[in-house]
Amino acid sequence: MNLSTTKTLKDHFKDFDKSNGYKGLKFGMQKSSVKNIVTLTNQDILKQYSVVNSEYRNWFYISFEECILGFNKKNQLYEVLLSKDEFSDKEYDQFLDQIIELFGNPTKSKEEFNDSEFTSWEGKNMAILIMRKDHNLLVGFSNISLDDSSLSDKLY
Beta strands in the chain (DSSP E): 21-22, 25-26, 40-41, 48-51, 58-59, 62-63, 66-71, 77-84, 108-113, 116-122, 127-133, 136-142
Q: What is the DSSP string of 99-141?
A: HHHHH-S-SEEEEEETTEEEEEEE-SS-EEEEEEETTEEEEEE
In the predicted structure, residue 1 carries a pLDDT above the cut 50: no
Q: What is the largest CA-CA distance in the chain?
A: 56
pTM: 0.84
CA distance 127 to 78: 11
Domain ranges of the chain: 9-148
Asked if pLDDT for residue 6 goes beyond 70, the answer is: no
CATH number listed for the domain at residues 9-148? 3.40.1000
For residue 87, the SS3 value is coil
The pLDDT score that the predictor gives to residue 3 is 39
The residue ranking higher by pLDDT, 1 or 84, is 84
Q: How does residue 76 score in pLDDT terms, banded at 50, 70 and 90?
A: very high
Average pLDDT over residues 50-59: 94
Is the pLDDT reported for residue 116 higher than 70?
Answer: yes
pLDDT band at 155 (very low <50, low <70, confident <90, very high): very low
What average pLDDT score do residues 104-122 get? 86
> Which neighbouring-strand residues pair with 21?
26
Read off the pLDDT band of 37 (50, 70, 90): very high
- Please list, in sequence order, all residues whose beta carbon lies within 8 angstroms of the beta carbon of residue 50, skipping any fewer than 6 positions away: 40, 41, 42, 66, 67, 68
Residue type, 135: H
Q: Dihedral sign for Cα 117, 121, 60, 40, please.
A: positive
